[in-house]
Structure 1
Amino acid sequence: MRRTLVSAIALALAGLSATAIAQAPAPGTAPVVQATTQLPRDVRPVHYDVAVVPHADKLSFDGKATITVDVLAPTPSITLNAVGMEFASAQLKPVAGTATYPAPQVKLDEKAQTATFVFAQPLPAGQYQLTLDYTGKIGTQANGLFAIDYENKAGKQRALYTQFENSDARKFIPSWDEPNHKATFDLTATVPAAQMAVSNMPVAESTDLGNGLKRVRFGTSPKMSTYLLFFGLGDFDRATAKAGDTEVGVVTQKGLIEQARFALDSSVDVLREYNDYFGVAYPLPKLDNVASPGRSQFFGAMENWGAIYTFEYAMLLDPSISTLSDKQGVFSIAAHEIAHQWFGDLVTMSWWDDLWLNEGFASWMASRTTEKLHPEWNTALEAVGARESAMNRDAVATTHPVVQHVQTVEQASQAFDAITYSKGEAVIRMLEGYVGEDAWREGVRSYMKKHAYGNTVSDDLWKQMEAAAGKPILDIAHDFTLQPGVPLIRVESAQCKDGNTTLQLTQGEFTKDRPGKKPLSWRVPVIAQAIGGEPVRAMVSGGSASVEVPGCAPVIVNAGQSGYYRTLYAPEQFSEIRDGFVKLAPIDQLGLINDTWALSMAGAQPASRFLDLASATPVDADPQLWGDIAGSLGSLDSYYRGDAARQATFRKFAIAQLAPVFARVGWQARADENGPTTILRTQLIGTLAALGDDAVIEEARRRYAAQDSDPQAMPAALRKTILAVVANHADAATWDKLHAAAKVEKTPMVKDQLYALLSIAEDPALARRALDLALTDEPGATNSAGMIGIVSRQHPELAFDYAVAHRAQVDKLVDTTSRSAYYPALGNSSLDPAMVGKIKAFADAYIEAGSRRAAETSIANILYRSKVRNERLPEVDAWLSRNGA
């Protein structure tokens, strides 16, 4: 799912460290390694029977939970997780027998997020039912049980949803809110009779209570972790289709069901594909995808078993504003969340150390399934972009291993990052290439069958993979998942003799901020290929390797780009590859230019190498390659911020590179163009406008002004792009016009987009107005924090200072679990060294010592950006001068 931050849980009450502890084994048996927990180990839940009565108007709810528990050893108390609850009563009775127990004493620890029920005498081992009457709070940010307020053509509306990952089920049910404590759930809700209630399972019974209320009882869930429970309530529509025996559904606010048709059709296709791939059929009777207005700064969708939750912008396709990129995103997100129904829901990581087993695999499954089911989108090249996202994060000192040591829930929340998602995906892709697709699939199937309804650690997967592949992968897997960092493969030489080229390779480590770092060691699977020749697989182990490749043409290392490493070529080899660049496969062109960019910016090679490749790229190269080059040129431009003369020189060069490509693509879509070209059009318009291309800016403004008289001026495919250009270059009058449009808009998804656009003005005075607007009720409770974040991309100092100065108000817009990441991120794009001190001061004052990874990463990025500005830009200036720019 996602990327969020949750408040820390103290371990003192449980008296245990958050590490795996082995029980003393019985004689002659192997030790049993227990899952990490922050609760006492002597009680485990078996079943939850929960009844809730939400009071949406009061933002509160009444709850009654009867929890069947196994008491494993005599204990004087039962401790579970609970946040923001008040308990009216607590009763305990044995499942068997007639023993009676006085009502326990209730002790709440808000910091530890626990409730402890203390009994007059120790409970003997056995099975009991703990019945709790309690009240809880309905929030306005997307965690726990929360409300989303929105306005549509029918007027003002309020809907309720839940979001529990990673540790917010404790705001809805007193529970053992940890992934290893799986149990079954019965959920009953008393709700307005006219509204629809949705949960993981179908409605088993609905009873009209009179007075405008009904009681809805859902079917018993399978055994699952607490964070996968879901409840939704509102004025909804639902449409369904069948995928085998499963009823697949989409749930939307009333009137928008047609905008979810693509999501519904895609879900059916994906579910059929996954039933076949995993070899274990989806086990629930239904699979809904519930669309919600609003948004979160930290996730877009959540894989609740049988009831996926997705914000509207990530699920619906509005014909007035949605683009091909949006359509691809809807499919990819649905494929990701449906993959979780196996990786995460059916088989769940034992503790958050192995979160990547959920997220890395769901990302990989989504990518491979998008490629297979929609080949017309040509998304294979996107794997390079995902790998880049991971490497950028993995190459700074604050990185962490894929399998990471998590001690607190807040640390677990910070684990939802590019390492967990994108490095996890990239490592899987590399290992699949190493063992072969068929063997990899058999390993996945074996893993699913062996561990269904259970919890695992990473080595449980590797054991099944080794057995299926018949070759050792454990050492390679451990190298890439148990230690951080990015391998660097250096091509020291390439000698051709008798029709073959012999490569001498050495292995180091790519780092952006530690040039003198002693490199770690990896066993690196390498695929090398001479242009036009056959690929050769080899292993760089022990720091070096000699590889013989058929042919005497220039050789690409990491051919096909399945490897997780950077490649640095000796000058002679790089020159040969540059001269043969047009002959490379598009995915290798993209991989080469990404490596060249990263190595150039880090100072591992001259910055001129990237500029040479960008200049050598033909106008008719793959659209995705040009989209990537445009992004890199835009990044370089941002480093010149505040230096108008040097920036003008660079912009002249960058516009000269991109303008011929845009002339070829044009403003008007052609009937026969492919998807990547359609997407490139929007990328080029955005980049050229950001570079100050007057022709593009003026044409966007002309189209915006003509939209009322010319229906073709702003087609849906370009509407968001044109609006973004206009908003970015807005004057006060234009900003006011956009603001007025946002206020009267009745489609929540479009309304949210318009408020986001108000935050992208390059004029600091207008950016300040957007910040002030964000602190009002007008944009909606879930949009305001995002507006501040958007302002920070161009005005990091302004946004950070403003948020800190108004911290009491901003805290209300960001859930408590996410603040340690939110505030530091506002300074990410700063080039001002003073920002480092500001973030350090904020962290010292407001963030616990064990939860400062996000702040430290922001600081590392600022220092790196300053280094690029000071050390790389002079090289760029020199290249521009030599080449007549």
Structure 2
Amino acid sequence: MPTLPRLTALFLALVLAALLPPRADAWAAKPKPLKAQADTEEVVPTVRLPDTVRPLRYRLNLTIDPDQTEYSGQVEIKVALSKAADHIWLNGRDLDMASAEVVTAAGEHLPATWDQVTPDGVARMGFPRSLAPQTLTLRFTYTAPFDPSLDGLYRVSEKGLNYAFSQFEAISARQAWPCFDEPRFKTPYDITLTVKAGDEAVTNTLPVREEAVPGGGRRLTFAPTRPLPTYLLAFAVGPLDIVKGPTIPPSGARRRPIPLRGVALHGKGPRLAYALSVTPGLFLTMERYFGIPYAYGKLDLIAAPDFDAVGMENAGTIIYSEQRLLVKADDTVDARRRFLVLHAHEIAHQWFGDLVTPAGWEDIWLNEAFASWLAPKAVDAWQPRMLTARVVEQEALEAMDLDSLASTRTIHQPIATTSDIETAFDNITYRKGAGVLSMVEGYIGPDAFRKAVATHLRRHIDGVATAQDFFGALADTVHDPVLVDSLRSYINLPGVPRLSLGWTCPRTGLQVLTAQRRYRPLGSEAATAAHWTLPLCVRPGAAGTTTCMMVTATRQALPLNQSACPAVLIPNATGSGYFRLSLTTEHWRRLLAVLPRLPAAEQLALLESLWGEVAAGHQPQSLYLTAAVSLATVPAWDVASAPFPRLKQLLEQAPTDSDRAALRLFLLQAWRPVLARVGLTPGKLDRVAPENTALLRDRLVAFLALELRDEDVRMRLMALMRTSDTQPPAEIRATGMAVMAQELGRPYINGLVDQLRSSTDAEEREMALDALNRVTDPTLAAEVRDMVFAPWLKLNEVNMLIRGQGRESSHVPAYWAWVQANMAHLRARGSSATLGALTLPLEGLCSTTAADQVEGFFRPMAAELEGGGRTVDQAVERIRLCAAQRSGPPPQTPTPEQKQ
């Protein structure tokens, strides 16, 4: 079927815009029943409600029919009023309130008014008179539309069947029911769901009673929940497949087994088999780590087809995107590995986040950082062959790019607006936060760290806690105030430390010399004055003994208990330090001589530090190329492939075509022999180390075929793709599809579009989108962009398509023109996440003029973007830094002497 013409796409977008419910920024135009005149002299609360009223328990009675455009609810909230008042503040957004009343402790029923005061859902409930402090019951009857942007309670359709799913984190529960929508308010919930005939309903607990209702529907009453904040509730309603998984057996102090279920769209239940089969082992590994019995009675894994959050840790009811949950036992190693780490992350939250919840959004970093730290550790303990042991360190190194921006934020971010809540969920929280926790654990040891975690959780079971509470548990465990100072310095200071390091050997023995300041890349205007308390581990010589110490001063000489003077000092031994190193060129050359023999984590850390020095203009690019080539043949797949993203940057930022051609030839000569050893198809290495080889083949083939445009690799790959009896290994199929899209043009593109229009396989659809984002023909690339407006593309897939628009850098200028020309239609088609994603590919514009244009275009609409003004700041800064890199010295390929 032909691709969607531009005019048709435009027409569909305009129709869609007319049909969509009003946008959040137009809320004031919507009629508000039961509205009362607010007290104009009172300050309206923003992200934090007053402490004068506190919820004690909710009773939710919702009627959810995904065949309709809205749902209805009857809600009771028991609250404690601690100060006399004639009104209270709570949360509710775009709720059509039919009635509201308050029931006093004496049983008096009083009518109440309801007024949504702010666009993001702060509401005022007015009483007919001032009420004394007491326990009150708030009652509401209302209807609400299903959300069109994958927030709150939203509706999706597939094969003519309709479903409803929820995503309440961070502050979208207020779109589903009137509530106190903050993490600190944890209460039990009594939930009743009424659904039509043929529909199933899933929430945080199992049903305890079922009643028939007129019309053939059912009313399901569920067991009361344990205390939960609003954002951890979950709902799934529709003609769902509910698959019973293997029961999780009793373990340790938990005497009861845990029923395990998988939930998917109608007909997709069989695809849950792999996820259900691996869950008990991973779950028990996690439970043993915490030493606290699982609290929530059952565990459901829900596959949502249009879910942009990837995974959400709702208590006892985890929701995943279909692309991540519906993996198969014979899927690629990478797909299974990504799922296992994600799955472990969400299971970890059942304790750290659900059982003990952050008291406020400013501490959400600890919740997410901890789960990001523990997840790969748990997978490695359970299935070491999945090679997740270095995930935390690797991802922390990747976070340093974001953390190197002047516009980055601190891990512990003050929350003043709802935009601040949105930006709290980025790689500073997840990856930098996890890296800092890994550094702390490495310094005090895993046993002490685990004991501190258990102490923290046991002190706050079913409650909330702050980061300071965690620091207290850590201090009580290790009795080292300097360590807590170090953690505080890392969470309260933005940026990456740049640690200058050397050594001297006076008569008193070996001394390590350090100096620190904030790292900044070439072209950055970030202030460099900063001072961290920084754990440092060093080793004299490749085979020496590692010693760890704490760097507490801006400049410091740290003695080592060694009299011999080493030929080389290994800095950041263990590789877990969150900093970039600044070394002399001679020190770097000595390190490169031993680099292939160092442990993999140290190789990764040193390689990234060297890249940082190149990006800052302190070391020549030829030195980085020398290091990258020296690691090309190391066994560890993640080390061997680590340079690929940086090498792509060097290619794209090469100032002239001849510079680019020379660098490309150098890289081909270095990595073609590696592919000859690994092979396009399985061979000897696969029998020795199958997972490692598959992961390396995946990255290596993509680098050679798509970034270096190796014609031989591309032709061989296409031949494998075309031969029905010799399909390529699963791990390189996505690259093969991308090459076919580039080489075969319209006929192949039409086939991918047909697949998107007809297939319900989420993984296949994602691969098709990835291939379409690799199209090189400008005309076809324009048609791919216009697919954003196609009604058969799911909203999370729209976001995937937009985020991938920078993969072929030559198309970025055309993409930028398209964004400017289509903004009205993009507003109608997408969400705040969609609009925020529009800025991501623009780094490739790489000029100061373009940075000014992007600034001028997006700044006036910053409030509409997910992340607000910071999203604009970071997009503009990335473009300026790219321009500074491109105007720097041209890339230099190493001389033969340097390569040795």
- TM-score, normalised with respect to structure 2: 0.89
Q: Deviations over 1:3-37 (max 9, x none)?
A: xx99899999895697xxxxxxxxxxxxxxxxx95
Whole-angstrom CA distance in 2 between matches of 1:812 and 1:204: 42
1:839 matched to which residue of 2? 854
1:412 CA drift (Å): 0.6
Whole-angstrom CA distance in 1 between matches of 2:387 and 2:868: 40
**Which among 217, 229, 234 is matched to residue 230 of structure 1?**
234
2:588 matched to which residue of 1? 574
2:689 matched to which residue of 1? 673
1:77 CA drift (Å): 1.0
2:305 matched to which residue of 1? 293
Whole-angstrom CA distance in 1 between matches of 2:39 and 2:478: 45
Bigger drift between 389-398 and 828-837 goes to 828-837
Q: Determine if contact 2:274/2:329 at 8 Å carries over to the other structure.
A: no
Whole-angstrom CA distance in 1 between matches of 2:719 and 2:842: 34
| Match runs of 1:768-807 below 5 Å | 768-794=782-808, 795-807=811-823
Q: Determine if contact 1:63/1:135 at 8 Å carries over to the other structure.
A: yes
| Match runs of 1:440-451 below 5 Å | 440-451=449-460
**Which among 703, 717, 727 is matched to residue 713 of structure 1?**
727
**Which among 658, 662, 666 is matched to residue 653 of structure 1?**
666
Q: Does 1:560 align with 2:574?
A: yes
Secondary structure at 2:845's aligned position in 1? Answer: coil
1:702 matched to which residue of 2? 719
Secondary structure at 1:379's aligned position in 2? Answer: coil
Q: Does 1:195 align with 2:199?
A: yes
Secondary structure at 2:560's aligned position in 1? Answer: strand
Q: Does 1:79 align with 2:89?
A: yes
1:161 matched to which residue of 2? 165
2:4 matched to which residue of 1? none
1:315 CA drift (Å): 1.3
Q: Determine if contact 1:827/1:858 at 8 Å carries over to the other structure.
A: yes
Secondary structure at 2:688's aligned position in 1? Answer: coil
Q: Determine if contact 2:47/2:415 at 8 Å carries over to the other structure.
A: no
Whole-angstrom CA distance in 1 between matches of 2:504 and 2:517: 18
Secondary structure at 1:136's aligned position in 2? Answer: strand
**Cα pair distance change 1:497/1:240, threshold 3 Å:** farther
Stretches of structure 2 lacking an aligned partner (at least 5 in a row): 1-22, 29-37, 251-255
Identity of aligned residues (%): 25
Bigger drift between 551-560 and 519-528 goes to 551-560
Q: Determine if contact 2:802/2:838 at 8 Å carries over to the other structure.
A: no
Bigger drift between 665-674 and 400-409 goes to 665-674
1:617 matched to which residue of 2? 631
Q: Determine if contact 1:650/1:880 at 8 Å carries over to the other structure.
A: no
Q: Which amino acid aligns with 1:184?
A: P
Whole-angstrom CA distance in 2 between matches of 1:8 and 1:528: 58
1:521 matched to which residue of 2? 531
Secondary structure at 1:45's aligned position in 2? Answer: strand
1:26 matched to which residue of 2? none
**Cα pair distance change 1:786/1:800, threshold 3 Å:** farther
Secondary structure at 1:827's aligned position in 2? Answer: helix
Whole-angstrom CA distance in 2 between matches of 1:591 and 1:824: 29
Q: Deviations over 1:60-105 (max 9, x none)?
A: 10111111111111111122211121111112212x324342x122
Whole-angstrom CA distance in 2 between matches of 1:834 and 1:481: 35
**Which among 474, 483, 491 is matched to residue 465 of structure 1?**
474
**Cα pair distance change 1:617/1:881, threshold 3 Å:** closer
Q: Does 1:312 align with 2:329?
A: no
1:534 CA drift (Å): 1.0
1:177 matched to which residue of 2? 181
Whole-angstrom CA distance in 1 between matches of 2:395 and 2:632: 24
Q: Which amino acid aligns with 1:125?
A: P
Whole-angstrom CA distance in 2 between matches of 1:387 and 1:494: 30
| Match runs of 1:572-651 below 5 Å | 572-617=586-631, 619-640=633-654, 643-651=656-664
- TM-score, normalised with respect to structure 1: 0.91
1:537 matched to which residue of 2? 548
Whole-angstrom CA distance in 2 between matches of 1:164 and 1:69: 21
1:56 matched to which residue of 2? 66
1:686 matched to which residue of 2? 702
Q: Which amino acid aligns with 2:813?
A: E
Q: Determine if contact 1:141/1:147 at 8 Å carries over to the other structure.
A: no
Q: Deviations over 1:199-231 (max 9, x none)?
A: 011112122225231111111111111000100
1:379 matched to which residue of 2? 388
| Match runs of 1:755-766 below 5 Å | 755-766=769-780
Q: Determine if contact 1:184/1:223 at 8 Å carries over to the other structure.
A: yes
Q: Determine if contact 1:47/1:67 at 8 Å carries over to the other structure.
A: yes
Q: Which amino acid aligns with 1:808?
A: A
Q: Does 1:861 align with 2:878?
A: yes
**Which among 363, 366, 369 is matched to residue 372 of structure 2?**
363
**How many residues align structurally?**
846
**Cα pair distance change 1:639/1:432, threshold 3 Å:** same
| Match runs of 1:115-264 below 5 Å | 115-150=123-158, 155-234=159-238, 235-243=240-248, 244=250, 245=256, 246-264=258-276
Q: Which amino acid aligns with 2:154?
A: F
1:32 matched to which residue of 2? none
Q: Determine if contact 1:147/1:161 at 8 Å carries over to the other structure.
A: yes
Whole-angstrom CA distance in 2 between matches of 1:784 and 1:180: 34
Q: Which amino acid aligns with 1:536?
A: T
**Which among 74, 97, 103 is matched to residue 106 of structure 2?**
97
1:805 CA drift (Å): 2.2
Q: Which amino acid aligns with 2:228?
A: M
Secondary structure at 1:281's aligned position in 2? Answer: coil
Q: Determine if contact 1:825/1:854 at 8 Å carries over to the other structure.
A: no
Q: Which amino acid aligns with 1:361?
A: F
| Match runs of 1:431-510 below 5 Å | 431-472=440-481, 473-495=483-505, 501-510=510-519
Q: Deviations over 1:550-584 (max 9, x none)?
A: 56342211111111111122222222111222221
Stretches of structure 1 lacking an aligned partner (at least 5 in a row): 19-35
Secondary structure at 2:887's aligned position in 1? Answer: helix
Whole-angstrom CA distance in 1 between matches of 2:526 and 2:835: 30
1:617 CA drift (Å): 3.0
Q: Determine if contact 2:632/2:641 at 8 Å carries over to the other structure.
A: no
Q: Which amino acid aligns with 2:204?
A: N
Q: Determine if contact 2:100/2:112 at 8 Å carries over to the other structure.
A: yes
Q: Which amino acid aligns with 1:557?
A: P
1:729 CA drift (Å): 4.4
1:405 matched to which residue of 2? 414
**Cα pair distance change 1:487/1:219, threshold 3 Å:** same
1:739 CA drift (Å): 2.2
Q: Determine if contact 1:755/1:779 at 8 Å carries over to the other structure.
A: no
Q: Determine if contact 1:538/1:547 at 8 Å carries over to the other structure.
A: no
**Cα pair distance change 1:801/1:178, threshold 3 Å:** farther
Bigger drift between 207-216 and 859-868 goes to 207-216
Whole-angstrom CA distance in 2 between matches of 1:851 and 1:672: 50
Secondary structure at 1:399's aligned position in 2? Answer: coil
1:382 CA drift (Å): 2.5
1:870 matched to which residue of 2? 887
Q: Which amino acid aligns with 1:677?
A: T
Whole-angstrom CA distance in 1 between matches of 2:880 and 2:561: 41
1:631 CA drift (Å): 2.8
1:620 CA drift (Å): 4.2
Secondary structure at 1:380's aligned position in 2? Answer: coil
Q: Determine if contact 2:632/2:671 at 8 Å carries over to the other structure.
A: no
Whole-angstrom CA distance in 1 between matches of 2:618 and 2:526: 12
- Root-mean-square deviation (CA), in Å? 2.7
Whole-angstrom CA distance in 2 between matches of 1:785 and 1:333: 20
Q: Determine if contact 2:311/2:319 at 8 Å carries over to the other structure.
A: yes
1:736 matched to which residue of 2? 750
Secondary structure at 1:220's aligned position in 2? Answer: coil
Whole-angstrom CA distance in 1 between matches of 2:774 and 2:722: 19
